[in-house]
């Protein structure tokens, strides 16, 4: 089976083609660091990985997409792309928490904290034990993240806020990668489960306040 | 196979998720999902709320348009999408969806200008028009007078635009002042029917002898309405809201139509096209008709449902571009919130 993997939850605009046939093997991958380039880069990257994998879009069997958390504007590009592509091709689309893909890649670590940049001096974070998430992903100030026994930290924000976690060893995993994304959806892919609703993990409400009464213009 | 192109258009520049399908100038489907109710309590469109709604509505709206048109996704010859201007996060959802359509099924992609699409949509209702024509575009985001040499051609000249608020914005602000809901156009239009348009002489902005002939200004009008209403309230008098609504609406319609018709006459064109959400306004339509008749001009205004934002207008413009042999957009097409009105195809 050919699976397209997409993640736009981070500055790494990521697309990959993964083959699933007993083993899970990466056929092609493109990740470009461009914090505001998701809208422009994702579709050409998908075309490129399909070409490098030597397949046509109509040969895809499933799409897996990172549902964040991540900056909303870029995150939505990946989700709407996955949803429309899968719907038109008549194949299922599965959502995977983007932090989980980083946590799963660091599964050899007993207890790892995964952090991603949430802008506004905050991080999206979740904790993992042997690659499996403990609790729900959350957003908060780096210094407020409870370590609860974590001995290592993974994700690109670990570098950004290195001074906050001097006691944790730094893992090399920075962004969600296609192999990990597909691995997390493997049961759904092989069993032919129906599509997920693909709802982003926003974790923040829109900044919007209802206005007060109109201000007087005359004094 | 028909020689006219079958085009699917996607529109997400503001709070409507629109997917339309046309064959040439024939409208086959016009599916719209609006998030307007989610914005009402904020008194204006909240960009993040709109973007979230676009993401949720996109796949169902595409499906509905295809089934309404009775065509399969693969039958489509091209996909057109609003590339700008508009809310950047909202535009991005539509552009990404159109690219996904293009990549999935190998269809050419056309990133088009929202404002040009507001003009092109009239072809779906009234067929070909005499070109060049002059177009008046009036909405919550825009008030412009344009010279359009050819619909779906790549050259448009802006003869004038608002220097401050858009006409629709002035409606929203006056509605709030009068305690009416958002968006302000429909409730003011309704109230104005019971009011006297000559009751209060509100100012006609930018109509002095030395003002640019085709520029608009609605900020002074809004302030004048506010001052008038506040003076009444301070004096403890009841505010005659119907008269205020009718007089305000008259001032807007008067300036818009006078300038648009002057432009059409000076350019020597036969047709005036009016588009955009404010083109659904009953007084603007009536006054434009009256003045076009007097000036010997043919007026073209699509029915109100096609004046507001929708995917059919994007498809209509896309079909013209395809028919005229325009080259498709590149797959790295950007969404441009400030796309100039002169860029018809990106
Ligand atoms: Zn519009």
Q: Cα(B19) to centroid of ligand 1, in Å?
A: 14
Same fold, B6-121+310-323 and B130-302: yes
Query: Are residues A78 and A161 located together in one domain of the fold?
Result: no
Nearest Cα to Cα of residue A173 among A5, A10, A57, A52: A10
Query: Are residues A13 and A113 located together in one domain of the fold?
Result: no
Answer whether B131's CB lies under 8 Å from B273's CB.
no
Nearest Cα to Cα of residue A7 among A198, A168, A216, A211: A198
Answer whether B286's CB lies under 8 Å from B257's CB.
no
Question: b vs e for A14-30, b when ≥16 Cβ sit within 10 Å of the residue's Cβ?
Answer: bbbbbbbeeebebbbbb
Query: Are residues A90 and A43 located together in one domain of the fold?
Result: yes
Half-sphere exposure of A155 (CA within 13 A, CB side): 33
Helix (H) or strand (E) holding A62: strand A62-66
Query: Are residues A86 and A68 located together in one domain of the fold?
Result: yes
User: CA of A189, closest CA in chain B: separation in Å?
Assistant: 19
Report the C-alpha gap between A13 and B91 in whole angstroms.
18
**What residues make up the domain containing A13?**
2-98+175-191
Alpha helices in B127-184 (DSSP H): 167-177
Query: Are residues A28 and A59 located together in one domain of the fold?
Result: yes
Is A62 within a domain?
A: yes
- Count of structural domains, chain A: 2
CATH of the domain at A9: 3.30.420.40
Query: Are residues A145 and A186 located together in one domain of the fold?
Result: no
Query: Are residues A186 and A79 located together in one domain of the fold?
Result: yes
> What is the second-level CATH architecture of the domain B130-302?
2-Layer Sandwich (3.30)
Nearest Cα to Cα of residue B157 among B170, B148, B169: B148
Is A122 within a domain?
A: yes
Is A218 within a domain?
A: no
Q: Do B95 and A39 touch (CB under 8 A)?
A: yes
Q: Considering only alpha carbons, which residue of chain A is nearest residue B225?
A: A217
Helix (H) or strand (E) holding B133: strand B133-138
Q: Do A208 and B97 touch (CB under 8 A)?
A: no
Query: Are residues A55 and A37 located together in one domain of the fold?
Result: yes
Report helix, strand or coil for A153. Answer: strand
**For position A214, what pLDDT does the model report?**
67
Report the C-alpha gap between A50 and B200 in whole angstroms.
66
CATH number listed for the domain at residues B6-121+310-323: 3.30.420.40
Is A209 within a domain?
A: no
The pTM score is: 0.95
Report the C-alpha gap between A157 and B268 in whole angstroms.
62
Is A196 within a domain?
A: no
What is the pLDDT tens value at each position of chain B, 346 positions in all?
Answer: 457 999 999 999 999 999 999 999 999 999 999 988 889 888 888 999 999 999 999 999 999 999 999 999 999 999 999 999 999 999 999 999 999 999 999 999 999 999 999 999 999 999 988 889 999 999 988 899 999 998 887 688 999 999 999 999 999 999 999 999 999 999 999 999 999 999 999 999 999 999 999 999 999 999 999 999 999 999 999 999 999 999 999 999 999 999 999 999 999 999 999 999 999 999 999 999 999 999 999 999 999 999 999 999 999 999 999 999 999 999 999 999 999 988 999 9
User: CA of B78, closest CA in chain A: separation in Å?
Assistant: 14
Judge whether A21 is closer than 8 Å to chain B, CB to CB.
no
Query: Are residues A89 and A14 located together in one domain of the fold?
Result: yes
Strands (E), A22-72: 23-33, 62-66
Query: Are residues A156 and A122 located together in one domain of the fold?
Result: yes
User: Counting Cβ atoms within 10 Å, is residue B204 exposed (0-12), middle (13-18) or buried (19+)?
Assistant: middle
Is A202 within a domain?
A: no
Judge whether B93 is closer than 8 Å to chain A, CB to CB.
yes
């Amino acid at each position: 089976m050919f699976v397209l993997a997409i993640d736009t939850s981070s500055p790494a605009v990521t697309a990959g083609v993964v083959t699933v046939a007993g083993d899970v093997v990466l056929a092609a991958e493109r990740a470009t660091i461009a914090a505001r380039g998701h809208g422009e880069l994702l579709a050409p990257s998908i075309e490129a990985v399909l070409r490098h994998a030597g397949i046509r879009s109509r040969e895809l069997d499933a799409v897996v997409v990172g549902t964040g958390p991540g900056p909303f504007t870029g995150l939505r590009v990946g989700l709407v792309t996955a949803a429309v592509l899968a719907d038109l091709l008549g194949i299922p689309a599965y959502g995977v928490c983007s932090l989980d893909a980083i946590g799963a890649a660091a599964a050899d670590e007993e207890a790892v904290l995964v952090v991603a940049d949430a802008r506004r001096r905050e991080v999206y974070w979740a904790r993992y034990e042997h690659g499996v998430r403990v609790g729900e992903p959350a957003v908060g100030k780096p210094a407020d993240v409870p370590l609860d026994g974590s001995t290592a930290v993974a994700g690109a924000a670990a570098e950004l806020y290195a001074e906050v976690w001097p006691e944790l060893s730094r893992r090399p995993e920075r962004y969600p990668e296609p192999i990990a994304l597909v691995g997390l959806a493997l049961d759904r892919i092989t069993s032919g489960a129906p599509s997920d609703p693909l709802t982003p993990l926003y974790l923040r409400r829109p900044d919007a306040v209802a206005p007060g009464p109109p201000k007087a213009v005359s004094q | 196979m028909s020689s006219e192109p079958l085009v699917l258009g996607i529109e997400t520049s503001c709070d409507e998720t629109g997917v339309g399908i046309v064959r040439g100038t024939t409208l086959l489907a016009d599916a719209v999902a609006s998030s307007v109710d989610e914005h009402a309590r904020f008194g204006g469109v909240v960009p993040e709320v709109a973007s979230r709604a676009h993401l949720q509505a996109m796949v169902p709206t595409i499906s509905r348009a295809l089934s309404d048109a009775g065509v399969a996704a693969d039958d489509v010859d091209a996909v057109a999408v609003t590339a700008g201007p508009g809310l950047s996060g909202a535009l991005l959802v539509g552009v990404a969806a159109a690219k996904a359509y293009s990549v999935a099924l190998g269809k050419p992609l056309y990133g088009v200008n929202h404002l040009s699409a507001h003009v092109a949509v009239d072809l779906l209702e009234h067929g070909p028009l005499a070109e060049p024509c002059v177009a008046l575009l009036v909405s919550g985001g825009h008030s412009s007078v344009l010279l359009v040499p050819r619909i779906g051609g790549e050259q448009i000249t802006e003869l004038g635009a608002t220097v401050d608020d858009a006409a629709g914005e002035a409606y929203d602000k006056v509605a709030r002042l009068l305690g009416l809901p958002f968006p302000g156009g429909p409730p003011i239009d309704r109230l104005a029917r019971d009011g006297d348009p000559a009751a209060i002489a509100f100012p006609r902005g930018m109509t002095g002898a030395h003002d640019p002939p085709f520029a608009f200004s609605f900020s002074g009008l809004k302030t004048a309405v506010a001052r008038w209403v506040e003076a009444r309230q301070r004096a403890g008098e009841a505010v005659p809201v119907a008269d205020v609504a009718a007089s305000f609406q008259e001032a807007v319609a008067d300036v818009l139509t006078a300038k648009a018709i002057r432009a059409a006459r000076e350019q020597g064109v036969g047709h005036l096209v009016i588009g955009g959400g404010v083109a659904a306004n009953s007084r603007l339509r009536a006054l434009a008709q009256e003045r076009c008749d007097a000036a010997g001009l043919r007026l073209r205004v699509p029915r109100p449902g096609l004046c507001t934002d929708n995917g059919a207008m994007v498809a209509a413009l896309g079909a013209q571009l395809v028919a005229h042999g325009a080259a498709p957009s590149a797959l790295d097409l950007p969404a441009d919130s400030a796309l100039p009105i002169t860029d018809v195809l990106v």
